[in-house]
Chains A and B, each alone.
Chain A
Amino acid sequence: MLLYVLRRVLATIPVILGVTIVTFLLMHLTAGSYVPGLDLNPYLRPEDVARLRANLGLDRPLYTQYLEWIWGISHGDFGRSMQNASPVIGLILDRLPNTLELSGTAMLVGIALSIPLGVTAALRRGTRLDDAITFVSVAGFAVPQFWMALILILIFTVSFKAWGLPWLPSSGTVSALGGGDLVDRLIHLVMPASVLSFVYVSIWSRFVRSSMLEVLAQDYVRTARAKGMKESRVVYIHALRNAVVPLVTLVGLELPGLISSGLVVEVVFGWPGIGRLLYERALEFDYTAVMGVTTFATLLVITGNLLADVMYGVLDPRIRKSMKSR
């Protein structure tokens, strides 16, 4: 198992190289020699533009710029933002807790809701309840997040406030003035986390439902029932454990989603997370920041996949065994 993990870790090196080279080249193709438009400022002289670019190291050959950057990364240095020379790792660490707070909550809520919903739908297959759950999950999948976010804001912020009801703040993680305590944070979290978890619930509950249906049709479940085991024990202990294996993969694969899936929600709710950081800096062609975040996200994807694989082993002895034999 250890060997397996080690091999997987080594295999990430070419992945990281590939991702960073592609990001680097794409940023250069779109932005030219960074700060597109800098040379359009009528109040900057040509020598100003040249000097600023030189200060940023952009006058050097492309490969030098990349090699220097990747050398830094290999030493744990994510470089400095093109924007204002602040350390990229600082930017990431500033935003990471917020993203983890939002996505983590949304995922937990997603798991907590999708399992009972999926199981219920599977057990009541074909009933109105099943149809209702299906409807909700299709809706969650089909409704664009930004639209849903705006509607929630219109209802729970704008309208509630107009009606004199207690209302929910529509942006940020804490109030600007006062606030900052747990309650304040939770109030700010409600709407963005709801929007985000809605998507998780709708996807995951479908998976739980179908894999539950599959498992319930297996021989060992019939055996368990035949020997007179209590239904709840059959469903929740025997069947569910096998039924959630695919969910574990999904959740593992969703770990990078901790960063990316929150993007739209983070933008609409003014949530200062990693997704928004990436988005804003990409729009600004701040390529060191973009590459820093991308590399960070790549590491997360790899870690997520690895964790999911290891979790498989924990959940399923057969897989554990095959890992050992490898």
Chain B
Amino acid sequence: MNSSNSAGGSLSRSLEHWSRRDFIKRAGGATAVLAFTSAGLEWLEACGGQTSTSSTGGTPVEGGHVIETVNNDVFSFNPMLVIDFTSQIAAGLCFEPLLTSIGNGDQIPGIAQDLPQTSSDLLTHTFRLRKDVKWSDGKPVTADDVVFTYRLGYDPAYKAVNFPYRGDFERYLANVKAVDPYTVVFQMKRPFAPFITLHGQYGILPNHILGNLPPDQINTADFTQNGPNVVSGVFKFSKWDKGQQIVFGRNETYFRGKSHLDSYVMKVLPDSVAQANQLRSGEVDASAIDPSLVDSFKGSSSVDLVDFPQAFVIVNAYQMDPSKSGSKFFADKAVRQALLYAIDRQAMINSLYFGQASIATSIEPPVSFAYNPNAKPAYTFDVAKAQALLDGAGWKMGASGIREKNGVQLKFELMSITGIHVYESAVVVIQEQLKKIGVVATPRLVSIATIGNVVTNTRDFDMMYIGFLWQQDPDASQYYASTSSVSGGKNFMHYSNPQVDQLLAQAGAISDRTQRKQLYFQIQDMLQDDLPTPPLMVPKAVWGVNKRVKNFNLGTFDSNQNEARPWMKDVYVTDGK
């Protein structure tokens, strides 16, 4: 049971009010839901994007240590089992994947020599491995290790292993085989362009250590739960004070070149105020900062602020299923658009996100290579336009100050998650803003468990304030393809546009970035016009990094899904301590 389970871990933090807030803040003010998954939440925390670096360059000083805060203890060191953010970092420091990515989501080779050679039909991906990668016990990292690692995901013999994404593997992956010790071929059952982006980044495990374990013991092995004895990454596991800190030492044989640091520490600190205090006192060197505390670090003589957008878009999802009552309002595009014009998103960003977010202009996150910065139409805060659109759609202002049409009032429920401060406030702000145009949106806050059930099963909602989480690949079919509106799928809006379906299918079946980008631009324009989920804002992640630490190049997609931080070996501390 692993990773998957840590799922809860993430969303967790929501019970007690203040700490709940912490969580959210740490997530960059955002948090929410689709992200609120096991996996999701934690991704948010760290994943942000784009630029943001601590200061770089200079002449590296050898020695010393860096301490980074994490919200919870490590649950697992096995890259195939981790879902929570903390475990992802830990696994990423210890195990190098085939491919890894840099802050903006672009992939670069890990233990592979280069990006894979992909056949034109997208049915085979061939990886040539570097020959200079060694396990810390001296054995070479070979194709056998890669094959073993991926077998955990698709081989029926390993079904007991709690690898969370087996569904994808079984659907797309026929087999992974070693052609020679340094060549691995992935045979696909059907073409799926995002496969390598989504699944090429699991840290490769040592076959000679874990290969002989019975499948169910992979989940609970000491290697997994108490720290690995063999690594290929930039650091070796060295000490674990449970619930307190995990200490790593330099891996002298790391293939990218050994780290300047003697040691790296992940310190478990659940409270965001305590995190900020320790950053201030210098007890820790790097930490995510709660948006509400960011101002107190401005002009700090010891801490650099680093921020980057998260791959996370907050939206208002509309009910569009004709069999549900909410669709009588939202089946009409004019209403969907009017309600976006009526919301003052900048005001929400200022008051709810302490300025640490930006207005979303597309459903794709700005960090994506396929992000369309000029998706049309653009929506500004324009109450008059909202009024005009509603008037034009036949929703006339009634005597009671509520718009109505054919005797039906424009009155619905706005659902969101209870326990997340920023969400609870947001729905009230939206309620107030819509009231000004004669629309009654009654907030309805429900538990995360209920939201899960609504999204995947009942679909009983009118409008939902929720966050959509994105991976590096811009594929959007999980949210917007009409096939994803089946039970269990994430198109709970019941959005259906045959043109969008066709473009999504087309974009998922080719690998050329330029072509894909063009297709996703079209898709974003259509979604921006159809507006099944008006994009509201993109929260930022803000980190504080002590000025003595150099080259700490954290970005949106670092540590997302087990990625090693390829820049970690370059990090050094100016005082050598």
Contacts and interface: CB of A to CB of B under 8 A. Distances in A.
Interface of A: 30-49, 51-52, 55-56, 80-86, 94-95, 98, 146, 150, 153-154, 157-158, 161-162, 167, 169-174, 176-177, 267-270, 272-273, 276-277, 279-280, 282-286
A84 B12 contact: no
B65 A35 contact: no
Contacts of A83: 1-2, 5-6, 8-9, 75
Contact of B8 (A35, A45, A85): A35
A273 B478 CA distance: 41
Interface string B1-23: 11111111111111110110000
A43 B274 CA distance: 33
Nearest to B484: A42
A30 B449 contact: yes
A43 B168 contact: yes
Contact of B487 (A41, A46, A51): A46
Given A30-B447, A42-B469, A45-B171, 16 more contacts: A31-B8, A38-B37, A42-B37, A43-B471, A43-B478, A48-B164, A80-B1, A83-B9, A172-B244, A173-B241, A174-B241, A267-B19, A270-B274, A280-B9, A283-B13, A284-B6
A41 B1 CA distance: 17
B179 interface: no
Contact of A48 (B72, B166, B447): B166
B298 interface: no
B8 A285 contact: yes
Nearest to B239: A176
A270 B12 contact: no
B116 to A, nearest CB: 20
Contact of A171 (B5, B242, B269, B452): B269
B41 A46 contact: no
A47 B4 CA distance: 13
B244 A42 contact: no
Given A83-B75, A158-B281, A267-B270, A283 B160 contact: no
Interface in B519-565: none
Nearest to A175: B245
> Which interface residue of A56, A269, A286 has the most chain B CB atoms within 10 A?
A286
A172 B448 CA distance: 31
A42 B8 contact: no
Interface in B224-278: 224-225, 241-245, 247, 263, 265, 267-271, 273-274, 277-278
Nearest to A94: B242
A220 to B, nearest CB: 50
A30 B35 CA distance: 19
Contact of B244 (A35, A41, A161, A270): A270
A157 to B, nearest CB: 5
B576 interface: no
A37 B41 contact: yes
A48 B271 CA distance: 32
A84 B76 contact: yes
Given A30-B447, A36-B449, A85-B1, A42 B273 contact: no
A94 B67 CA distance: 23
A41 B449 contact: no
Nearest to A85: B1
Contacts of A272: 73, 241-244, 268
Contacts of A37: 7-8, 10-11, 33, 36-38, 40-41, 448-449, 451-452
Nearest to B487: A46
Contacts of A282: 15
A172 B245 contact: yes
B265 A177 contact: yes
A48 B167 contact: yes
A284 B268 CA distance: 16
A284 B12 contact: yes
B268 A86 contact: no
B270 A177 contact: no
B44 to A, nearest CB: 12
B280 interface: yes
Contacts of B162: 52, 55, 85
B455 interface: yes
Nearest to B72: A280
Given A272-B242, A276-B243, A283-B12, A40 B34 contact: yes
B164 A85 contact: no
B381 interface: no
A195 to B, nearest CB: 13
B377 interface: no
Nearest to A84: B75
Nearest to B39: A41
A281 to B, nearest CB: 9
Contacts of A41: 7, 34, 37-40, 164, 469
29 contacts: A34-B8, A35-B8, A36-B11, A36-B447, A36-B449, A40-B33, A40-B451, A42-B34, A43-B168, A48-B168, A52-B162, A82-B8, A83-B6, A84-B81, A85-B5, A85-B225, A86-B225, A146-B18, A153-B277, A158-B280, A171-B283, A172-B267, A173-B244, A176-B65, A176-B265, A268-B274, A272-B268, A284-B9, A286-B5
A29 to B, nearest CB: 9
